[in-house]
Amino acid sequence: MAWLLASGASVWVNAACTPSKPTPAAPQPTPSEVASAGVPGLAGATVVEPPPVRLIAPPEPGRLTPTDKFYALKYSLTLPSVDLNLWGMQIAGLVERMLTLTWNDVMARPQIEAMRTLECISNLAGGGLIGNATWQGISLRDLLNEAGVRPQGKYVTFEAQDEYYTTVPLERAMDERALLVHRMNGEPLSPEHGFPLRVLLVGVYGQKQPKWISRIVVTDQNEEGYWEKQGWSNVAAIKVNSRIEAPVYDAQIKRGQRTLIAGMAFSGPSGIRRVEVSTDRGSTWEEAQLVPAPAPFGKTAWTGWYTWWAPAQPGAYLIQARATDGDSNQQGEEQRRGILAGVFPDGTSAIHQIQVSVVE
């Protein structure tokens, strides 16, 4: 299968119907602008945000993001340095048997391959802090079952080699899709993406899926981690969202020209039910064609969407996209609020919109 890939280079920056004349839709801020706006925790973080994807054809099923174009975020100054001969991971806390795994132990266990989309909780409407990849690793649930979770165990805390930690309910860690992965897009994890092992869960933003994992502790306490102590959500459930990748912001389109409107949509475990597009500031909406990821990954990877538009009149147009997930949560139902359209403290489901001009 051929994949339509993003283009451009990643950059490290410091962070955390008759047309009317719409109010211009400003381009999305960069991560450094997010940090300067006072988003808690990002002022001391380092963010890699890839350049915008520019579609010239409808998206292909399960489009992959190249590893070097995949967003990354860390809050410490340096990346952990790991010697696999000395590396080990421990499962401890409220368990019957404490487990310690060497790298050889990890590689000897049954291997699972999956396609998953990761998104940062600070991703803006239409932003680039999201990507889709194939992953390979081992079952987290199997490890916890081997350790034997005691009845008092209600939560799981993930500890990383950079001293980052976060906690999730036991049920999320025991989901059959919860993994500890060591390969991304067919290659060993890069240092930026968590070499040698990272957590991969379903239904939560990236802050709950630590990189450089070194210890897993079963506990009876819902302990707040680094980002949670900055005021970010301790639930961090993914909100339904979509972004427009074609046409580009401020594009000039000839009157009557058949024009592709397309992009990607993502949500929690219920998947994407539909995506709608408006070219008249939300007065009317047209349902787009969905392009889901290949089975069985249609609900854990993002969904492509597209439609065609031939504007009849010249003028300024505002193109908007909104997605609805399998639980009937609709993008844009929440009011825009707070820092940068409500990114803080629990992510945003604000509608992405771009302005284009139609000319003779």
Over the chain (360 residues), the average pLDDT of each successive run of 10 is 30 30 45 51 71 90 96 83 96 98 98 98 93 98 98 98 96 98 98 97 97 98 94 96 96 97 97 98 97 97 98 97 97 64 87 96
Residue 307 CB coordination number (10 Å): 18
Phi, psi of 198 (to 5 degrees): -135, 160
Q: Confirm whether pTM is higher than 0.75.
A: yes
**Domain residue limits, the chain:** 68-229
Please, is 298 exposed, middle or buried when counting C-beta atoms within 10 Å of its C-beta (0-12, 13-18, 19+)? middle
355 is written with which tokens?
A: 């302005």
195 is written with which tokens?
A: 């070499």
135 is written with which tokens?
A: 């992953």
Q: How far is CA 106 from CA 66, 175, 223, in A?
A: 25, 19, 27
Give the separation between CA 122 and CA 230, rounded to whole angstroms: 13
Q: Which residues pair with 131 in a beta bridge?
A: 118
CATH architecture of the domain with residue range 68-229: Alpha-Beta Complex (3.90)
